[in-house]
Chain A
Amino acid sequence: MIGAVDSAALLELVWAAPIAAITVVTAWGLVVYGTARAGEARRDGRTVRAALHVAMAGLGGAIFVSAIVLGLIVTTAKG
């Protein structure tokens, strides 16, 4: 009966799902971290540092939005 289970998909799920989740959470973490640090740098008058943190937040945001779009594609692809 155990042959009924798609073990290849199951194994792929076990490593792919955590990678996907960690990517999403890390990307949003970059947004939060970059935004907070950029605010602090601006208050200290360090504009270059602020710009670098804004860029970091932007990169994280782009990855996060891409992940959301990918999620939408997966959801709609079922139709």
Chain B
Amino acid sequence: MDSDIILVIVVATALAFDFTNGFHDTANAVATSISTRALAPKTAVTLSAILNFVGAFISIKVAATVAGGIVDAELITTTVIFAGLIGAITWNLVTWYFGLPSSSSHALIGGVVGAAFAASGTEAIFGDGLLEKVIVPALVAPVVAFLTAGACILITYRMVGRLRPGSVNRGYRLGQIASASLLSLSHGTNDAQKTMGIITLALIAHGTLDGPSPDPPFWVIVSAATAIALGTYSGGWRIIRTMGSKIYKMDPAQGFAAQGGGAAVLLTASHLGFPLSTTHSITGAVLGAGAAKSLSAVRWGLAGNIAVAWVLTLPAAAAVGAVTYGVSRIFGEGALGPLLISVSLIMLIAAMFGNRLRHGPPVAPRADAA
């Protein structure tokens, strides 16, 4: 009976993480399009939500489970998964509250690493995997995207700088719709898979599914796709505002260079088997497209805050994951611990969303956008 309750809690928590992943990462695909008025805010998040939903059905490669190669799979239990998810959700909510883009994948890996460490000690963690899959990509993604987007915007200005701004802006707004759509589809494919993988792992641990790497049941695919699409549709407006207009005043050509350049970097990396964080790549590209035009136009203090959030993602999510695991075990190995923690988190989320509804109106397109 207890294992059934824990399974239900883990599935619900995984879907809650998927939802936060959707609204946290909406900004990557749509922030620049909204800022440059390529798309109206509601249209942008609706399009992104639909493409995230569709993207979730493209791939069911659950073998690529989260934290694979980073944490010893033999030591992962449903309680470790639960605690890792709580760590990731908490960090996603904290960074969303402060309007800071950060990697949901790194938060999830951090949460699972922390929970596994609390459960089994250092032998559960593979340092090489952590270096290869988290630390090096976190350093490479923003730098490559920054330099690439910088080069892209310089080439763009060279090509169209002497043309009438009206037709140029219309052209780049149109291009942004294509790049935003591709990014949304790619996000749905990559990130919904993580939730499918977690739920499938929990089903295997529970004994509902057999075999070393079974395909996820259809209801898992549909529910993961729905959760990420609903999260995307709800719109992480605070982060959208940061990415789209707070870092600097973006024109449509810069928006396209950041988004198109960032997408090209991401997909090239994915093709080479060197997956990078969407958040790190797009944020780096946004900064690069701004800095190449004018260094002083970029709010480097805000960029510094974002960098601090990236550095803190892994340890902070790990700390929450470890504490969650520890608290859960105080109540024994049954369902009471996860149940109490889940209820507490739901109350926290309700309080944060209530506060957002009172103080955080959706981002509006800038009236002065060219």
Establish whether residues B131 and A2, one from each chain, have CB atoms under 8 Å apart when the complex forms. yes
Residue of B nearest to A77 (CB): B271
**Interface residue SS majority, chain B:** helix
Determine whether B333 belongs to the interface, using a CB cutoff of 8 Å to chain A: no
Given A13-B268, A20-B265, A71-B267, also A28-B186 (CB < 8 A):
no
User: In the complex, what residues of A have CB within 8 A of residue B260's CB?
Assistant: 21, 24-25, 28
User: In the complex, what residues of A have CB within 8 A of residue B178's CB?
Assistant: 64, 68
Least Cβ–Cβ distance between B146 and chain A, in angstroms = 11
Determine whether A62 belongs to the interface, using a CB cutoff of 8 Å to chain B: no
Establish whether residues A5 and B185, one from each chain, have CB atoms under 8 Å apart when the complex forms. no
The listed residue with most A CB atoms (<10 A of its CB), out of B60, B127, B171, is B171
Establish whether residues B171 and A35, one from each chain, have CB atoms under 8 Å apart when the complex forms. yes
Determine whether B172 belongs to the interface, using a CB cutoff of 8 Å to chain A: yes
User: In the complex, what residues of B have CB within 8 A of residue A70's CB?
Assistant: 267
B147 touches which of A18, A24, A25 (Cβ 8 Å): A18
B60 touches which of A18, A22, A79 (Cβ 8 Å): A79
A13 touches which of B55, B132, B140, B256 (Cβ 8 Å): B140
A35 to B159, CA, bound (A): 13
Establish whether residues A17 and B151, one from each chain, have CB atoms under 8 Å apart when the complex forms. no
- Among the listed stretches B83-91, B160-168, B228-236, which one makes contact with chain A, having 4 or more residues with CB under 8 Å of it? B160-168
Determine whether A44 belongs to the interface, using a CB cutoff of 8 Å to chain B: no
B58 touches which of A3, A68, A75 (Cβ 8 Å): A75
Given A35-B167, A71-B182, A79-B59, also A5-B273 (CB < 8 A):
no
Establish whether residues A33 and B160, one from each chain, have CB atoms under 8 Å apart when the complex forms. yes
Establish whether residues B55 and A20, one from each chain, have CB atoms under 8 Å apart when the complex forms. no
Contact-residue bracket for chain B: 35 or more
A2 to B190, CA, bound (A): 26
Per-residue contact bits, chain A 64-79, to B (CB 8 Å; 1 contact, 0 not): 1001101110111011
A12 to B270, CA, bound (A): 12
Per-residue contact bits, chain B 158-197, to A (CB 8 Å; 1 contact, 0 not): 0110011001100110010010001001100110000000
Per-residue contact bits, chain A 1-42, to B (CB 8 Å; 1 contact, 0 not): 111111001101110111011111110111111011101000
Determine whether B269 belongs to the interface, using a CB cutoff of 8 Å to chain A: yes
Given A4-B129, A29-B160, A71-B182, also A18-B151 (CB < 8 A):
yes
User: In the complex, what residues of B have CB within 8 A of residue A10's CB?
Assistant: 136, 140, 274
Determine whether B263 belongs to the interface, using a CB cutoff of 8 Å to chain A: yes
A68 to B174, CA, bound (A): 14
User: In the complex, what residues of A have CB within 8 A of residue B220's CB?
Assistant: none
Establish whether residues A13 and B185, one from each chain, have CB atoms under 8 Å apart when the complex forms. no
Least Cβ–Cβ distance between B298 and chain A, in angstroms = 19
A17 to B268, CA, bound (A): 6
User: In the complex, what residues of A have CB within 8 A of residue B271's CB?
Assistant: 74
Determine whether B148 belongs to the interface, using a CB cutoff of 8 Å to chain A: yes
User: In the complex, what residues of B have CB within 8 A of residue A79's CB?
Assistant: 58-61, 189
Establish whether residues B132 and A6, one from each chain, have CB atoms under 8 Å apart when the complex forms. yes
A36 to B186, CA, bound (A): 31
Establish whether residues A36 and B265, one from each chain, have CB atoms under 8 Å apart when the complex forms. no
Given A28-B175, A36-B164, also A4-B189 (CB < 8 A):
no
User: In the complex, what residues of A have CB within 8 A of residue B265's CB?
Assistant: 17-18, 20-21
Establish whether residues A29 and B159, one from each chain, have CB atoms under 8 Å apart when the complex forms. yes
Per-residue contact bits, chain B 229-262, to A (CB 8 Å; 1 contact, 0 not): 0000000000000000000000000001100111
List 20 A-B residue pairs with CB atoms under 8 Å apart, sorted by A's residue number.
A1-B128, A5-B131, A16-B272, A17-B148, A18-B148, A25-B260, A28-B171, A29-B159, A31-B175, A32-B163, A32-B172, A64-B175, A68-B178, A68-B182, A72-B182, A74-B267, A75-B58, A75-B186, A78-B58, A78-B270
